[in-house]
Structures are given as structure tokens and as C-alpha cells.
Structure 1
Amino acid sequence: DCAELIQVSWLEVSGKVGPADEGETYVVKFDIEVKDTGFGWGNTEVLVMAKIGKKGSYEYKPVKLACNYKGYIPKPNEEQLEITVKNQGSGEKDLDIHFGLYEVWSGKWKGGLKIKKAEVKKKKP
């Protein structure tokens, strides 16, 4: 099963995993499909974003979508979204990875997007 976007002007898909391991780098990506009847994606960037902890700063990768695309974003041949968990030392630690897929800036109506899964995995050395 997957989530299907029928028609919206704001795309905001978010999640959280953790706690992450200090000193490790993680790769964040989404497995999606834009149906052939999809609309509103032309010349519109979506952002794959992630941060460490609720108060962390987001890292992001812009991605352009097109109708009939099936696969991962960022695409395997593109630079991936990587986020590194810094060593926090002692004290309060919020090591959860907050991540998401967003397009809230264009104001365009969009539809026909299927989100099959989100992946947050440790980067292989």
C-alpha cells in the first residue's frame, strides 16, 4: 500500500526515526511514482529534507518531478541527501532524525503522486 496525493496545493509529508547513532551519516530518500495523469509538477521543485533533533537545522535536496517517473528521489545518479549525527557530548540528547518531502512554496495545484516509502538508512562506508 502507498499514500496517493489526489489534489493539493501544499505537499508536506513528514516523519521521525531514531535515535540515530552519534558519528554516523544517514541517507534520506523517498520511493515515489508520479502517475501519467499527474499534474502541477512541471518546473516545480520538491525538497527532500532532514534534520537531527527537533531544534536542528534542516539539510535539503531540491528535486524536480515529471509525469511517469517511478523510483527514488533524489534519483540514484544524483547527489543524495546525507545528514551526519555529530557527537553531542554529555547532557540532553535529541538524536531523532526528522525528515520530510515538501512543496509549499509554488501555490500550484498538484496531483497524481504516490509515495511508496520513505527510507532513512546508515550510509555504507
Structure 2
Amino acid sequence: MFEQILCIDDDPITLMLCKKVIAKSSFSQEVISAHNGEEALSHFNNLKYNNKISKKPELIFLDLNMPVMGGWEFLDHFTSQAYSEFNSAKVIVLSSTIDPEDLAKAKKYPIIIDFLSKPITQAMLEYLKKKMG
């Protein structure tokens, strides 16, 4: 079980579903959310600023297509030296479209451990438990 998971998605229904499915499956003690990449980076900046690096998400469910800052842009920032103390977090891309170009691009980020299609399900979490366990 994870202590904390971060779900980054601009769709409030997807975020609510993420929280419900994760809670129901005892996959994580806490689920936090951000509505776009910029909001997620702000969260990490606050952790750093307030010296709460011990309370960091271990897993990130990331949507790719979001306003303000999308998933790819978030990843470019998050994998930079500026966020190196958080790079132990693993990322699972949750997208509504499985575009072969996106799949190829995802392979360039070692932090991405899987690319799954929405919505998140219990079966998906069981699969991830086995894969990461």
C-alpha cells in the first residue's frame, strides 16, 4: 500500500473516480489531486519550501491533455534537476487516447512505469500491485 498518491487531471469526475477506486481497494492511505501540471508543480514547490519532503507522493497518475500545463510539460519540469528530490515517485499515464506517438514518447521517460487508458479500475490497481510488488 502506498502512503500517498497524486492524481493530476483536469476532469473533476476522473479525480473523484480515482479517489473512490483507490480508497475502495486500499491501494493508498491518501489521495491528493491537482487539476493540471502547474498545480502539481506548485504542490511540490510547497513541499520543498515548507521542508516536508518526507510527505511526498510515491505514485502519480497523470493525464496528458490538460489546460494550463499538460502532462508532457509537467514531466519535462518534474524530471529536471529542480525536482530531483521527488524523482523517486513513479508515474502512470492515464489517458483517454492511446496514441502510438504518446506511447513512444512515454518510453523516453524512465519515471513512467505504465501507460493505461481511462477510467481507473479495481482490476487496473490489482495489475499495478502485482507489477510493482
More strand by share: 1
Greater length-normalized contact order (CA 8 Å, ≥ 6 residues apart): 1
TM-score normalised to structure 1 length:
0.23
The structure with more helix, counted as a fraction of residues:
2
Normalising by structure 2, report the TM-score.
Answer: 0.22
